[in-house]
Amino acid sequence: MSERADTTDPSRRGFLRRAVAAAAAVTIAPGISLVRLADARPPDQRVTDANRWGLLVDASKCADGCGACVDACNEENGLKGTGRPATDAQWIRTVRLRDKATGRETRMPYMCQHCEHPPCVDVCPTGASFRRADGIVLVDRHICIGCRYCMMACPYKARSFVHEDLTGQKPDVPRGKGCVESCTLCVQRVDAGDRSTACADACAKAGHRAIVFGDLKDPKSEIFDLLAKLPTRQIREDLDLNTGVRYHGV
């Protein structure tokens, strides 16, 4: 993980980091910071690959019967169920697994893995499915034609197709009938400088801290630290997709 030279003045950056660290020390609840980091990317600056956003999921902390991450995602992104689970959009879901040989059960949240080599991006005929420079895999719904080929291609069945007319969308999360969508790593929050996704926040609020969001390329980030300490894997690592979501305890 190389450090890229930043365009802002290093001394200013250093001051801001210390100021923010002090502010972070006075946050009111664990894992939730009211202060957005002041060195967030300015809105007129293009994203670069200096960051790579990802998640670390600790399945051993995923609690039975808990759906906080799913509810938070639905709330944040305006996903409303219609009582038809086969066609309703689900950007994150919890999956219970049982080892066929030992019978041991594990539970984990499962979403778009934000691969470095996404099959969904390879197969999209118009290029609507794409990987942003900072690692988030998105659908450009302006050019998505709704062919659903990316849904066939995804090894994680992460994508949903919007099967009916939608109303009451969140202004930050436009979505509509006829296009394909999936977990965006809360890109609207990331771009606003929030250092967390809705699911990670909710999981922390529920007291489990099974999901950690962060910059996989930042040696000072919590996720980087955890990845160095814990044994982790990718789901379907045999496909060599180099996912941005890593799992521990699966």
Partner 1 sequence: MSPLRTFFYGLVAALALAGAAGGAWAEGRTPLPTITKGKGDQCVEPTAVMRTDHMRFLLHQRDETVHGGIRTKRHSLKECIECHAARDATGKPMPVTAEGQFCQSCHSFAAVHLDCFSCHATTPDK
Partner 2 sequence: MKKVQFLEIEGRSLGYYALLGVLGLLVAVGLGAAHYMEHHGHVVTGMSNQVVWGIPHVFAVFLIVAASGALNVASIASVFGKTAYKPLAPLSGLLAIAFLIGGLAVLVLDLGRPDRLIVAMTHYNFKSIFAWNIFLYTGFAAIVAGYLWMMLDRRMSGYSTPVGYVAFIWRLILTTGTGSIFGFLVARDAYDTALLAPLFVVLSLAYGMAVFLLVLMASYRWTERPLGDVLLLRMKNLLGIFVAAGLYFVAVYHLTNLYFTERHGFERYILLDGGSFAQVFWLGQVLLGGIVPLVLLFHPTLGRSRTVIGVASALVILGGLAQMYVTIPGGQAYPLEVVPGKEVVGSTFFDGVVASYSPSLPEVALGVGGIGLALLLVAVAVKVLRFLPLTLDDASVDPHHRGAAASA
Please report, as ranges, the residues that interact with partner 2 according to CB under 8 A: 70, 84-90, 93-101, 105-106, 110, 119, 121-128, 143-149, 151-157, 159-165, 177-180, 235-236, 238-239, 250
Both tokens of 55, joined, read 């998640």
Q: Tell me how far, at minimum, the Cβ of 235 lies from partner 2, in Å.
A: 7
| Residue 105's binding partner out of partner 2, partner 1, none, with CB under 5 to 8 Å set by partner kind | partner 2
| Residue 96's binding partner out of partner 1, partner 2, none, with CB under 5 to 8 Å set by partner kind | partner 2
Three-point CA angle 141, 123, 125, nearest 5°:
55
Three-point CA angle 71, 77, 83, nearest 5°:
55
Complex with partner 1: residue 131 or 248, whichever CB lies closer: 131
Is residue 176 involved in binding partner 1 (CB under 8 A)? yes
Q: Tell me how far, at minimum, the Cβ of 139 lies from partner 1, in Å.
A: 9
Is residue 207 involved in binding partner 1 (CB under 8 A)? no
Q: Are 135 and 216 in contact (CB under 8 A)?
A: yes
List C-alpha distances in Å: 108 to 105, 140, 195, 232: 10, 28, 22, 13
Query: What order do you get walking across the sheet with 211-215 strand by strand?
Result: 211-215, 53-58, 245-248
Complex with partner 2: residue 124 or 186, whichever CB lies closer: 124
